Amino acid sequence: MATDLHQARWKKGAWYAGLGALALLVLFPVYMTIVRALSQPRAYVQAGQPPWPVHPEWDVFTRAFTDGDLGRKFLVSAVVTVCIVGGQLITATLAAYAFTFLQFPFRRLLFFVFMATLMLPIEVTLIPNVQTIRSLGWLNSYPGLITPFLATAFGTFLLRQGFRGIPRDLLDASQLDGFGHLAFLRRVAIPVTRPVVASFGVIAFLTAWNQYTWPRAVVTEGRWETIQIGLRTVATQTIDRNNVGFAAALLAALPILLLLIFLQRQLVRGLTTGAVKG
């Protein structure tokens, strides 16, 4: 009995050690980035690039805003993200409602056509889409950054799954109560599927905030850079100033980190949709 207990304790300790090693593996890249962001660049190189900060400069995070024009980039990213998330929530909710609760000719075909857009990532349609944006005069503008993402097959699918969980009787009861479809959508369907809507909203936010390829293609002026493409210059910056770039990268991840901490359940549910049945 005593040896069993001893063995169990030993096993537990080994497990914790393994977990600790894995945690180190995951966090080490971030830790090194923090070290580099804090260190005075020249002093750090002269000290032989040790795994701890050299001459830490804590104001580097505020300097990212003053030197790196990070404020403007945050603003552009925020506006683009909020508009995309809001727009997708509206268009996907409406479409998902139609596909779930309304009968009309070609419904199945149209749903299939909607889902087919999942096979057309922006990377494929990049060249003609950039041309479209250019011909509209929308390079370096909010409409250019936002419009192509105002509809989403993934969101439509997710919300339709949510709506399908609503008993048909609720719609019937609502109609007897004198409410039309739009009132049912607003009063019942959306509130009842709030967890699904929240999951989708969080995923949409994450995706929009983290976008790279499209803004990189339609932005040519620094003023219109999102935070993500602003990071591009870090690698090519002079060594003297790259600590500001590393600080910017850490700050760029902050909104999503907060999302992960405070809306973990919604985020995980959204990410694992389709991965695990039930």
Q: CB atoms < 10 A from the CB of 159, how many? A: 28
Residue ranges in 233-252 that form contacts with other proteins under rule CB under 8 A: 234-235, 239, 242, 245-246, 249-250, 252
In one-letter notation, the amino acid at residue 248 is A
Q: Dig out the tokens for 127 from the structure.
A: 């060249």
Residues 6+ positions from 41 with CB-CB distance below 8 Å: 239, 240, 241, 242, 243
Out of 232, 240, 262, 265, which residue is the one contacting other proteins (CB under 8 A)?
A: 232
- The residue from 51, 58, 108, 221 that contacts other proteins (CB under 8 A) is 51
> Applying CB under 8 A, which of residues 32, 79, 82, 263 lies at the interface with other proteins?
32
Q: Should residue 173 be labelled a site residue for other proteins when binding is judged by CB under 8 A?
A: yes
- CB within 8 A of 23, min separation 6: which ones? none
Q: What are all long-range contacts of 177-186, with beta carbons under 8 Å and residues at least 24 apart?
A: 181/97, 181/101, 181/102, 184/101, 185/93, 185/97
Looking at the Cβ atoms of 91 and 141, the one nearer to other proteins is: 91
* Complex with other proteins: residue 65 or 132, whichever CB lies closer: 132
Compute the distance between CA of residue 230 and CA of residue 132 in angstroms, rounded to an integer. Answer: 24
Among 84, 89, 204, 267, binds other proteins (CB under 8 A): 267
Stretch of 2-10, 63-71, 78-86, 264-272 lying at the interface with other proteins (CB under 8 A): 264-272
Tokens 């690698």 belong to residue? 235
Under the criterion CB under 8 A, does residue 14 sit at the interface with other proteins?
no
**CA quadruple 249, 255, 258, 264: dihedral sign:** negative
Stretch that binds other proteins, among 2-10, 27-35, 52-60, 61-69 (CB under 8 A): 27-35
Rule CB under 8 A: which of 106-125 touch other proteins? Answer: 107, 110, 113-114, 117-121, 123-125
Question: Contact letters (x/-) for other proteins, 123-162, by CB under 8 A?
Answer: xxxxxxxxxx--------------xx-xxxx--x------
Which has the closest alpha carbon to 228: 248, 244, 242? 248
Report which residue type is found at 7: Q
Q: How far is the CB of 79 from other proteins (least distance, A)?
A: 17
Q: Which of residues 62-81 bind other proteins (CB under 8 A)?
A: none
Q: How far is CA 145 from CA 46, 129, 133, in A?
A: 42, 11, 9
- Residue of 3, 104, 108, 221 that binds other proteins (CB under 8 A): 104
Q: Give, as ranges, the residues between 174 and 203 that touch other proteins (CB under 8 A).
A: 174-179, 181, 183, 187-188, 191-192, 194
Stretch that binds other proteins, among 55-63, 68-76, 78-86, 253-261 (CB under 8 A): 253-261
Is residue 5 close enough to count as binding other proteins by CB under 8 A? no
Phi and psi, residue 55, nearest 5°: 45, 60
